[in-house]
Structure 1
Amino acid sequence: MRNRLKDVAERAGVSVKTVSNVVNGYAHVRPETRARVEAVIAELNYRPNLTARSLRTGRTGVIALAVPELDIPYFAELVRHVVDAAAAHDWTVLIDQTGGSPDRERIVADGIRDQLIDGLIFSPLALTGAELARRADTRPMVLLGERDDHGPADHVAVDNVAAAREITAHLIASGRRRIAAIGAQRATSGASARMRLTGYKEALAAARIRFDPRRVAAAANWHRADGAAAVRKLLDSGVRPDALFCFNDTLALGAMRALHERGLRVPDDVAVVGFDDIEDGRFSTPTLTTVAPDKEEIARLAVELLAKRLAPGADGAPAELTAGHRLELRESA
């Protein structure tokens, strides 16, 4: 027979309201009381009745997370952190992949599974702030990723310009001067690329190194094959860099493969750095120096913002929050 909230309360010697507060993650519960209730929940294998809660509160306990590509390791790792952060609120996460398609992103923004979810965490590539402001769905939404415009929803990102400037400055401090940038994009979906290119240029300017557009290699997508192709094209054009700033780690892994094919050693001949700190970079040969966005903090802040918007009486202007980052200095630079 399924245990009820009342059974947990009686066993723990507390009120039903206290058990409900613990189950729903409310902060104002004494630590010793919380520990006692959690022990009884585990002992009785209590699981909330989500159907009853939905009828009572109008909430399903399900949120959606929409990202461009699940096979990009950064997004796969971010998804894991969002699922972990949502679990603290007893939320289930419905995951969707948009492919960066404008049509698919509009479907997501206008109400993915609108009878099932309470809110949306969304990393769009194609839609502008103006397009997102016109969404039909009124459920709370938190945006992830780099954006040129602010609003119309809460937004969490890292400071891409500062991070790119710092990783480029690291290359300069190690004695590199012919630093190429891999991953430039011209499409409207390239906010990350534009910000990282800006940081790269700022670091060069601060070191009085002339910016050379021939050392900027475009990549429509940021996969391993795109990094390898961009470096081959760069070398074939006669450019001889002594370092590569790749705009994400998968580009960097592809770039290192292309350098190996051309007989160039990393980091002896060409230093290589990336961005994202994916797990693969910790096991490549050589291991990859990179910018490490705090993915756990990004996920936690996004979930916290969504929880605030779902709270009764929630209001206020959209929040712009910046998560931390650090440089992970390894063998490649």
Structure 2
Amino acid sequence: MRPRLTDVAEAAGVSMKTVSNVVNGAEHVREETRQRVLAAIDKLGYRPNIAARNLAQGRSGVIALAVPQLDRPYFASLAARMLDEAEAFGWIVQFHQTGGRREAELALLTERHPARLDGIVMSPLGLTAEDVQNRDPALPLVLLGEKAGTEHHADHVGIDNREAGKVATQHLLELGRRHVMALAPGPRMDDERINGYRDALTAAGLQTDEDIVLATGGLRGQDAERTLGEWLDSGNPAPDAVFAATDWLAMGAIRALVLRGLRVPQDVAVVGFDDIPYDLATLPTLTTVAPDRVAIARLALQALRDQRPGGEPQRLQAPFSLVVRESTTGIS
């Protein structure tokens, strides 16, 4: 027979209420008691009846994850982490691809859905601050990523992009590189990752040469390859390092450099951002900033679960790390 809540309570020597508190993640349970209950759950193979629990709590058990493109490696990896973490919360994840279009993002916040949603986790590109502020306050919303102006009206989860850009650039400076170029995503020159690059130069007593902060006009590798290639072909001296605001841009930069006879990292060291799976398949492998996607998913779901109408929006930060690979240190 399938183990029941009463079986777990008896095995752990606690009340059914205590087992329920542990299963639902209540914080006021003593750690010793929690571990005893978890051991009993593991031993008996108990699995909570998620449908019944959601019904009792007035929930549908379904949330939406909305991202610009599911076929981008970063978002695909994030979606996988979100699925893993949502299972522990008793949620089923419904995926939406918005293309970064405001109308598609806004529709998720304003239109009726076939099934009632317990909340939405969204990485927006087009939403305005007013769109977020004017949404139905009864629908929990958590925003991901760097979208200025919207996170102040809803819970927001991300990493410190500015600090991460600074750490990545400091790595290049510590290698003795001094002519460090930055590749900005799209047309944006005020990107927080690029501002972190500027912070690192300032901290090192160096002036930012805005002539080598290049806007790529897009987010694809070919955008960076074209931008850097045209810059080099115009007779400009090659930088000795490149900080790219995404891994795709970094890969495009490496292609532009190699096609012009420059070696990575001997002539030009390159750092990317996002730690997508393809980083290990490039030659050389790519040094990059790695956001903790498990922490991002967990924090987003916790914020969604705990959100209450009229509550003060939270800004939650997940950790990141710099993963040093061959594009800055060479092949050993």
Please confirm whether the aligned pair reaches a TM-score higher than 0.5, indicating the same fold.
yes
Partner residue of 1:181? 182
Contact 2:254 2:270 in 1 (8 A): yes
Amino acid at match of 2:227: A
Q: Does 1:80 align with 2:80?
A: yes
CA displacement 1:308-329 (0-9 Å, x = unmatched)? 126xxx7631111122122111
Q: Is the contact between residue 242 and residue 271 of structure 2 (CA under 8 Å) also seen in structure 1? A: yes
| Aligned sequence identity (%) | 43
Letter in 1 for 2:154: A
Change (3 A) 1:288 1:16: same
- Please list the CA deviations of residues 196-218 of structure 1 after superposition, one character each: whole Å capped at 9, or x if unmatched: 22111222233333323331222
Matched, 1:226 2:230: no
Equivalent residue for 2:94? 94
Q: Which amino acid aligns with 2:168?
A: I
Structural mapping, 1:32-47, within 5 Å:
32-42=36-46
Distance 1:56 1:207 in 2: 58
Matched, 1:217 2:218: no
Aligned to 1:332: 327
Counterpart in the other structure of 1:139: 139
Q: Given residue 327 of structure 1, which amino acid in structure 2 is its aligned partner?
A: L
SS in structure 1 of the partner of residue 327 of structure 2: coil
- Kept in 2, the 8 Å contact 1:72–1:223? The answer is no
**Hey, what's the Cα distance between the residues in 1 that align with 2:260 and 2:112?**
47
Q: What is the match of residue 285 of structure 2?
A: 287
CA separation in 1, counterparts of 2:135 and 2:86? 24
CA change 1:22–1:209 in 2 (3 A) is: closer
Alignment check: 8 A CA contact 2:9 2:19 kept: no
Q: C-alpha deviations, 1:80-111, integer Å up to 9, x for none?
A: 22222211112111111111111111112225
- TM-score with structure 2 length normalisation? 0.86
CA deviations on 1:32-63 (whole Å, 9 max, x unpaired) are 22322343345xxx56261x444432201111
String of CA shifts for 1:239-270, please: whole Å, max 9, x gaps: 32111111011111122122222221100111
CA deviation vs aligned residue, 1:146-204 (integer Å, no higher than 9, x gap): 13234211111111111111211221221222211113433xxx59x611221112222
Instruction: Find the counterpart in structure 2 of residue 129 from structure 1.
Output: 129
The residue identity in structure 1 corresponding to 2:315 is E
What's the C-alpha RMSD, in Å, of the aligned pairs?
Answer: 2.6
Letter in 2 for 1:31: Q
Aligned-pair distance for 1:139? 1.1
| Runs of 5+ consecutive residues of structure 2 not aligned to the other structure | none
Distance 1:230 1:32 in 2: 59
Contact 2:22 2:34 in 1 (8 A): no
1:272 matched to 2:264? The reply is no
* Residue range with higher mean Cα deviation, 252-261 or 97-106: 252-261
Q: Contact between 1:61 and 1:117, CA under 8 Å: does it hold in 2?
A: yes
Q: Secondary structure at the match of 2:191?
A: helix
CA contact (8 A) 2:137 2:310 kept: no
Output the CA distance in 2 between the equivalents of 1:316 and 1:324: 25
- Matched residue type, 1:58: G
Q: Deviations over 1:107-166 (max 9, x none)?
A: 122257373320111111111222211123621111111132342111111111111112
Distance in 2 separating the partners of 1:60 and 1:184: 38
